[in-house]
Amino acid sequence: MYPLISKISTTVRSFIQLYGLRLGFLIGSRFAPETTVRRAARLFSTPFASSRSRALAAPSHGASEGRLEVDGHDIATYVWGDPRTQPYVLFAHGWSSHGTRIAPWLEGLRADGYAVVAFDQPAHGKSAGRQSTLPDFTRHLLAVGRHYGPAAAVIGHSLGGAATLLAMARGLRAERAVLIAPAADPVAAAHRFARLVWIGEHLCRRMFAYFEQRIGIGFEEQQAHLNAPVIASPALIVHDLGDREVPWSEGERYARYWPDSRLLSTTGLGHKRVLEDRSVIEAGRRFLHGEAVGDRLVSSPNLPYGWA
């Protein structure tokens, strides 16, 4: 009974905090729009504080832990095996996550002869920083890839999938890619965020402009369908039909526009459990062995995203 009471209490507190946040943004949108835009941008680029505690509590499963400096950020790295002498798999975690989320894959990948490299993005896990964006994710993934050399494969989850796409389009060397529940559209993500915190369309557009001025790249430029066509390496896209955080249609968009890719759709796994599901891991390993996994899609400008 006590755990149930605790869960209900936590849910009530979260509900009150969310509505307090929404009311603050609603009032601020009317009376202090510029301050509200900056506040919304800061919140949009700040990972959940709990990601730190989860990373510190998570076991490293025997990893050789190190540090790597990228753009003045102190980045935590995790290595299993020896990437200098073994083909290695590079893992890119998602938003408010951490590198050791690759743990369920380790046994199979190591048995297949791969070393594995993971890291915590800035403001995540054991890495320094307070805020992060998709361009940060992309830039740090590129830097880690350059440090360890060409990878046999890269596995990206959620925002890490988006960063994987952008990094490979910008020169990250990997023979294959497995993208799990990848986010395809930062524009759509920003609109979902705006609806969640009750800032209107006009302030959402101003938030775009604020970010683009800061990071030097437009939201539209980072969309999957504009970057996937230039990538030659084969990819397996895995996405759950019931994903409530990143819609299945975004994974479908990757598979439609990535020239040498296939789509594996799952059911009942959602956004997070799909990364650790045994059948998904086995499908990923078969793909890395060169097997055809999932369905082949063909792009068409006559269909909306989400339809094959």
Span 141-185, pLDDT tens digits: 999 999 999 999 999 999 999 999 999 999 999 999 999 999 998
What is the mean predicted confidence (pLDDT) over 79-99? 96
Domain range annotation of the chain? 52-187+221-288
pLDDT at residue 175 in the model: 97
Q: What is the pLDDT of residue 304?
A: 57
Task: List the 73-80 sheet strands across, edge first.
Answer: 64-70, 73-80, 115-119, 88-92, 151-157, 174-180, 235-240, 261-266
* Share of residues in the chain with pLDDT > 90 (%): 59
pLDDT score, position 305: 57
Write down the pLDDT at residue 308: 43
pLDDT, greater one: 233 or 25:
233
User: Kind of pairing, strands 261-266 and 235-240?
Assistant: parallel
User: pLDDT band at residue 218, thresholds of 50, 70 and 90?
Assistant: confident
* Confidence band of 64 (pLDDT split at 50, 70, 90): very high
CB 172 within 8 A of CB 244: no
Least confident of 68-77, 89-98, 173-182: 68-77
| Cα–Cα dist 138/145, whole Å | 11
Asked if the 52-187+221-288 domain carries CATH number 3.40.50.720, the reply is no
For range 70-95, the mean pLDDT: 94
H/E run at residue 165: helix 159-169
Q: Is the pLDDT of residue 14 over 80?
A: no
Q: State the CB neighbour count (10 A cutoff) for residue 20.
A: 10
Q: Rounded to two decimals, what is the model's pTM?
A: 0.86
